[in-house]
Amino acid sequence: MTTTNFNESAKKIADLVAQHPEDLLLQVCQFLKQNVYHYDWVGFYILDPEKNELVLGPFAGKPTPHTHIAVGKGICGQVAKSGKPMVVQDVTQVENYISCGLEVLSEIVVPVLKDGKLVAELDIDSHSPAPFTSEDTEFLTKICDLLAFCF
Ligand code: SME
């Protein structure tokens, strides 16, 4: 921008601020899927504390039939219980796992904490074998911290 148009700029910023949190979450999912080679499905699950289940929120990748997951069930449900990130480098080695397709080889789930309580999770499926390192966990934890205000 060569000449500052404050009115136009203020409107642009107002549009960004007014963006619905769901749109922001969707954009983050799309960004992660497109920019990290080993992230093949990226989505948020939101905790419904009354029903004690996770409900699928914005996601990027193949639609999944698992739109509701009970706390304790699968990798997502285990993270909802523990409140701690979980990395599964080989999904065939885990008993308590809900499959989204044979192409998925590994998975990482990171909790979104708000005031210390789990409100949602970021779930990532990978078609690569054992692709995750501690850097993934640190990176995704940072993203979940940044996005906690959306929930
Ligand atoms: N694999 C997950 C289910 C959700 S899908 O990955 C989208 C689990 O075991 O909880």
Homologous superfamily (CATH) for 3-150? GAF domain (3.30.450.40)
Amino acid 101: pLDDT? 92
Question: What separation in angstroms does the CA of 85 have from each of 44, 64, 112?
Answer: 14, 21, 10
Amino acid 1: pLDDT? 54
Let me know if 14 is exposed, middle or buried by CB neighbors in 10 A (0-12, 13-18, 19+): exposed
Question: What separation in angstroms does the CA of 36 have from each of 8, 39, 79?
Answer: 34, 6, 22
- How many angstroms separate the alpha carbon of residue 20 from the centre of ligand 1? 26
pLDDT digits (tens, 9 = 90+) for 23-73: 999 999 999 999 999 999 999 999 999 999 999 999 999 999 999 999 999
Q: Taking CB atoms and a 6 Å cutoff, what residues make up the pocket around ligand 1?
A: 41, 64, 66, 69, 74-77, 97-98, 100, 107, 123, 125
Q: How confident is the model over 79-83, as a mean pLDDT?
A: 97
Query: What does pTM read for this prediction?
Result: 0.92
**Residue owning the nearest CA to atom 5 of ligand 1:** 100
**Residue owning the nearest CA to atom 3 of ligand 1:** 98
Q: Which of 11-20, 21-30, 115-124 has the lowest mean pLDDT?
A: 11-20
The domain locations on the chain are 3-150
- How many angstroms separate the alpha carbon of residue 35 from the centre of ligand 1? 21
Q: How confident is the model at residue 148 (pLDDT cuts 50, 70, 90)?
A: very high
Amino acid 17: pLDDT? 84
pLDDT at 114 over 80: yes
Spatial CA neighbour of 49 closest among 83, 23, 25, 16: 83
